[in-house]
Amino acid sequence: MEKQEKIVSMFDDIASTYDKANRVMSMGVDRSWRKKGCDKAFSYYGIDKIDMIVDVACGTGDMMDYWKRQALSGGITVEKLVGVDPSEGMVGVAKEKFPDFEFKIAPATAIPLEDVSADMLSISYGIRNVVERQKGLEEFNRVLKPGGMVVILEFMKNEHPSLLGKFRDFYMNSVLPKIGGFISKNKEAYEYLPNSIEGFLTVAKMHEELEAAGFEVLYTESFSMDISTLIIAHKK
C-alpha cells in the first residue's frame, strides 16, 4: 500500500492551492462536465426523493456542491450528501468551504457506510488514484442500492489519439505540470497527473471493470478533445 499512501500524502501537500490550480488549468470547462454527469444520473434514476448521494475521492467538495445545485434546479430532494476522501488536507479545505456537508476520511476501498444505503455514488478525477481499483468498484457496488447509479468522470487513456488528442497530450505533459507546479510549488504532484493518465485505462477497459464489479454501463461521452470522459452505470 506504499503507492496509495504516497498519493494521499501528495494531495495533503497541495490541498491549500488545489482549487486555485484547478481553476487556472481547466479554465472552468469542468463545470459543464460535472453538471451533465449529475443531470444524466438523475434522469436515468427517475426518482425525485433521494436518500443519499456519496462522492468518493471528494477532494475539496466541489462535486458535492454540483449534486446539490443540480438537484435543486431539477426539483429533486436529497436527504444526505456524504463526501469520502483519504486525504485529511483535502477534507479540511472541503469542510471550510461546505460546513453543512458530511465528510468521512476513508479510502475508496473501505467506505464507512452501510450496505445498499446510497442511491448514487460519484467519483470525479479520482478513480485512477485508487490503486486497488477493482476492490474499489466492488465497494461502490456494496454501498449502492439495487439500480443505484455510479457516475465516473475521468481522464482516460487514448490508444489512438487524433490530432486534437495529440494536442491534449502535449498540454497535459508539457504545459499543465508547469502551471500546477508554479501555483502549488509542488511540480512533482502535477507531473503525476499525465503519468497517471498514461498508465490508466482506456474507456473500453473501464467498461469491462465496471461490468466485472456488477454494474451495467448506461452512458458514455467524451468531452473537449477527449480530455475528459463521463461514464454512468447502474448496479444490476
Asked if residue 208 belongs to a domain, the reply is: yes
Please report the pLDDT score of residue 151 as a whole number. Answer: 98
Asked if residue 163 belongs to a domain, the reply is: no
Asked if residue 79 belongs to a domain, the reply is: yes
Q: What does the alpha-carbon distance between residue 98 and residue 180 come to, in Å, rounded to a whole number?
A: 24
Q: Which residues pair with 206 in a beta bridge?
A: none
Residue whose C-alpha cell reads 478533445 in the numeric block: 225
Asked if residue 194 belongs to a domain, the reply is: no
Q: What does the alpha-carbon distance between residue 63 and residue 35 come to, in Å, rounded to a whole number?
A: 9
Q: Is the pTM higher than 0.75?
A: yes
Q: What does the alpha-carbon distance between residue 55 and residue 88 come to, in Å, rounded to a whole number?
A: 15
Domain that holds residue 212: 2-158+202-235
Asked if residue 39 belongs to a domain, the reply is: yes
Asked if residue 153 belongs to a domain, the reply is: yes
Question: pLDDT by residue for the chain (236 residues), tens digit each?
Answer: 588 887 778 777 777 777 677 666 566 678 899 999 999 999 999 999 999 999 999 999 999 999 999 999 999 999 999 999 999 999 999 999 999 999 999 999 999 999 999 999 999 988 988 999 999 999 999 999 999 999 999 887 776 666 666 766 776 666 766 776 666 677 776 666 656 666 678 899 999 999 999 999 999 998 866 678 999 999 99
Asked if residue 109 belongs to a domain, the reply is: yes
Q: Which residues of 104-119 are buried (b: 16+ CB within 10 A; e: fewer)?
A: beebbbebebeeebbb
Asked if residue 83 belongs to a domain, the reply is: yes
* Count of structural domains, the chain: 1
Q: What does the alpha-carbon distance between residue 85 and residue 55 come to, in Å, rounded to a whole number?
A: 9
Q: What does the alpha-carbon distance between residue 32 and residue 176 come to, in Å, rounded to a whole number?
A: 20
Please report the pLDDT score of residue 141 as a whole number. Answer: 98
Please report the pLDDT score of residue 205 as a whole number. Answer: 93
Q: What does the alpha-carbon distance between residue 124 and residue 94 come to, in Å, rounded to a whole number?
A: 15
Q: Backbone phi, then psi, for 79, in 5-degree steps?
A: -70, -40
Q: What is the rounded (10 degree) CA torsion for 46, 151, 75, 118?
A: 80
Please report the pLDDT score of residue 168 as a whole number. Answer: 67
CATH number for the domain including 6?
Answer: 3.40.50.150
Residue 157 CB partners (closer than 8 Å, separation 6+): 197, 198, 199, 200, 201, 202
The closest of 212, 15, 209 to 231, measured between CA atoms, is: 209
